[in-house]
Structure 1
């Protein structure tokens, strides 16, 4: 059955908007060429989208061309402002962008472990409000949040966890109360990092891959046939609980000690570095990442047996997790994400790939993250932008 005229118009409008989002400003002639639509149809959709306030004339194509056909049309970037949050156990980072993804404001605030739930939430919400104001907006249209922990697949809410601060769950509810007209959504941080790597990073050429997050904690995100897989309970990728050789015991339902986290989490990497004469204060991901980065630099600049042995042992550990993922999912590609994955770069990825090649009959490329610790915030911003565009670009009178 052929589409109704209104449905056909809605499809054409959304196609044109997606092209303008991806390609940037275009003339009506370029839209005609890229969409395959007739000239009158393109003229009609340009008029509709302009009247709706979604696109506007942003210039002309070429100095020698004049007239209606030379007008460049672009999305009205200020039609909506989007907020993204990267919520960690030790603080919050915020970015605010316009509708086309240009970042207008960024900010972060530390939140100590002894901060109460109420003060922690207020500190985070105040940060969002300041960033939105700095971006020139009164409120965000859409808010995307990346946080550690499991997301309930039925409700879309962050599940309660004894291992995470209580203010994480309270923050989501408070943001919805503070911005009642905004669409607020939360997603697991590793899943958002995978989305960012697929769209803008190391997995741009892959429809199927796994992101192994190596930061303060460990996690994995699974993308199969272009779709993020969350699992029946939202727990796909909880690789920190994977029992592996070389640990002192077995993990429990509430504690991943004895699992892969005990080998590849930031605290474990910091201890391993100390055993090889590489030291740093604290045991958080930036310190572990710095140690890995320094070891890579020292081995690349000449012979350094201690640094080389440290990287070899670390690659052995990471390969256990990668090989387990490869054996079950056969993704063909594993991206080493997080601050540690980015710090290790191509040298660490090559060491891990070599070990996995010996351990598994299934081929798997191992790549370093292109985005590192910024991937979560980037993924949250992409998610917020997609949601805003789905709503704003939807046919009139119809929600998405």
Structure 2
């Protein structure tokens, strides 16, 4: 059944907006070429988008071509303001951006280990409000939050966890009440995977697993271009993965004895000490001591082999502080060892975005939510 004229217009408008978002400012002629639409149809959609306040003329395409056909059209960046938060165990980082994702202001704040829940929530919320004011954002449209822990796939809420501060869950609820913005929360590893897929090591890859290697160990599963969360939101909890070499088994209440005991920061520091490599975890991994890196790669390949045997993603990205610090030297060693453990060909890459991956992913979540509403038919 053919689409009605109004539906067809809405589809064309959204396609044009997506192209302007992805490609930057375009002329009407370029929009015609990229969309395959007729010149009158493109002229009509450009007029509608200008009238709606979503698109404006931002310049001309070259001095030799002047006049209406040379006008460059672009998204109105300040049509909506967005915010992203990277909530860690003892800190929070905030970035405020426009609809194009351009950073307008950024700030970070440590949260003391013994800070009470109410005080921690107030400090984090005040940081967001202050950063928004500095960015000139009178009203935030969407806020994306990346946090450790499981997200309930039904309610979209951060689930209670005995291993994480209570203020994490309380902050999400407080911001939802305090702001008129749409507030979304997602597991930090999943957001890092989204950022690596759009900007970093997994760009253009539809199937991959990102290992988050830091204080804790987790993974994000991306299949068919989409993050897969599992029935309870727990897909990727590889810290609990039973693996050889730990001397024990994990339990329902703790991941000691699981892959975490091989690849978590404490385990990596202990391994480094055995090889005489000093410094904190990242410095130790960055030292590029060949024997230490080889032993660490052996451990990481064990976890990767278990995951790839089930999912066959074709690509594994080593992220988090440890993965980023190890870089290509560690990734190459893991790939080589993995090839000897598994018949499935799997490429191993080092994450490209480092510590900013979660924040970038949270900003993508906020921008996607804003665009879903603003670019919708009749918005």
Tell me the TM-score normalized by structure 1: 0.93
CA distance in 2, matches of 1:248, 1:105: 48
Whole-angstrom CA distance in 2 between matches of 1:126 and 1:185: 18
Map of 1:310 onto structure 2: 292
| CA-atom RMSD in angstroms | 1.0
Alpha-carbon distance in 2 for matches of 1:270, 1:103: 35
Residue 213 of structure 1 corresponds to 212
Secondary structure of 1:143's partner? Answer: strand
Q: Distance in 1 between matches of 2:343 and 2:152?
A: 35
Q: For 2:205 and 2:65, locate their aligned partners in 1 and report how far apart those are by CA, in whole Å.
A: 40
Q: Distance in 1 between matches of 2:373 and 2:204?
A: 28
Measure how far apart 1:60 and its partner are.
Answer: 0.7
Q: Residue 320 in 1 paired to residue 288 in 2?
A: no
Distance in 1 between the 2:154 and 2:204 partners?
A: 31
Which secondary structure does the structure 2 equivalent of 1:58 belong to? strand
Q: Deviations over 1:145-203 (max 9, x none)?
A: 11111000110000001111000000001111111x21101001110111111111111
Partner residue, 1:304:
none
How far apart, CA to CA, are the structure 2 residues paired with 1:41 and 1:205?
31
- Structure 1 residues without counterparts, runs of 5 or longer: 281-286, 297-306
Partner of residue 302, structure 1 = none
* CA displacement 1:274-323 (0-9 Å, x = unmatched): 2222223xxxxxx31222112x2xxxxxxxxxx22211111111111111
Task: Confirm whether residue 394 of structure 1 aligns to residue 376 of structure 2.
Answer: yes
Which residue pairs with 1:352 in the alignment? 334
What is the match of residue 116 of structure 1?
A: 116
Q: 2:348 corresponds to which residue?
A: 366
Alignment of 1:206-285 (within 5 A): 206-280=205-279
| Preserved CA contact (<8 Å) 1:163 1:254 | no
Q: Secondary structure at the match of 1:141?
A: strand
Alignment match, 2:57: 57
2:169 is the counterpart of 1:182? no
Gaps of 5+ in 2: none
Q: Report how many residues are paired.
A: 379
Please identify runs of 4+ aligned residues in structure 1 that moved more than 4 A: none
Please give the alpha-carbon distance, in whole angstroms, between the structure 2 residues aligned to 1:205 and 1:77. 26
Partner in structure 1 of residue 93 of structure 2: 93
Indicate if the aligned counterparts of 1:20 and 1:74 stay in contact, CA closer than 8 A. Answer: yes
Indicate the SS of the match to 1:243: coil
Q: Residue in 2 aligned with 1:78?
A: 78
User: Structure 1 residue 84: deviation in Å?
Assistant: 0.5
* Contact 1:247-1:259 at 8 Å conserved across structures: yes
**Native 8 Å contact 2:198 2:204 kept in 1:** no
* 2:16–2:35 CA contact under 8 A, matched in 1: yes
CA distance in 1, matches of 2:358, 2:326: 18
CA contact (8 A) 1:95 1:106 kept: yes
Question: 1 CA distance for matches of 2:119 and 2:138?
Answer: 23
TM-score normalised by length of structure 2: 0.98
